[in-house]
Amino acid sequence: MAKVFSTEDVKQNNSIRVLRERLYSDIDLTLDARIAPEFSSGDGDVLRKTDLASVKQSIKTLLMTNRYEKPYRPDFGGDLGGLLFELMDENTGDLMIKRIKTAIQAYEPRAKVLDLKITANPNSQAVTVYLEFRVINTQFSDTLRIKLTDTPVAATPILPVTPDVVPDEILKTEQNERLLTLDNVLLRTDELGLVDGAILTVPFEDQLLSQDEQVLIVEQS
């Protein structure tokens, strides 16, 4: 909240001072991380939304949520999805406006609605919400545009990936890079074979031999 010290409270030859503390902070729902060199800190922590951006993200999440979608809070959300199947007339638009204002008043008290408009495209069964709001007790305002449609977004299929098995005692270079054969087969040491420290190929587990068929081993000293 902004705190203003009036000139009446101090000497007249002093200038007005304005002190402001950061109001709100929420996790960025993209879950992107601060990674160098894009971010100077590069600490890998999740990005955060602060102040106006935090409230704007919260309103968008609220209006995009339908009732019974949030566990243990069945009434949370703008509950606008079901209205997309109604006749797009003035009554439906008024009902949407009422639900939006009610949801914001109940679940996002940090915001005050300044202006709210709804446009409909019956051909594509889509509704666009234009919301102008202000963060209470501040002069920060912004406009949020949300497009609602009954057409589900096709999810990108994620194929199962079997992780590579990394055996113990993998041989590496001084630069900590794995040693590979010409066929990109990993090399490791044999701890259980007849020859102590023999070099094996993975996954074939064959011993590496010299041209005169001498077993290659790792130097133990």
Q: What is the pLDDT of residues 29-76, one digit of tens each?
A: 777 777 765 666 666 777 777 888 888 999 999 999 998 888 888 899
Q: What is the pLDDT of residues 158-194, one digit of tens each?
A: 666 665 555 667 777 777 777 777 777 777 777 766 6
**Dihedral sign from CA coordinates of 185, 190, 194, 197:** positive
Length of the chain: 221
Give the pLDDT confidence score for residue 14 in this predicted structure: 44
Contact by Cβ (8 Å): 62, 79: no
Give the pLDDT confidence score for residue 98 in this predicted structure: 93
CATH number for the domain formed by residue range(s) 25-32+45-149: 3.10.450.40
Paired tokens of 83 = 């209205």
Paired tokens of 124 = 């594509």
CATH 3.10.450.40, the chain: domain bounds: 25-32+45-149
The pLDDT mean for the chain works out to: 75
The pTM score is 0.54
What is the average pLDDT across 123-146?
86
Task: Provide the terminal-to-terminal Cα distance of the chain, rounded to the nearest Å.
Answer: 67
Q: Which residues of 59-93 are buried (b: 16+ CB within 10 A; e: fewer)?
A: bbbbbebebeeeeeeeebbbbbbebbeeebeeebb
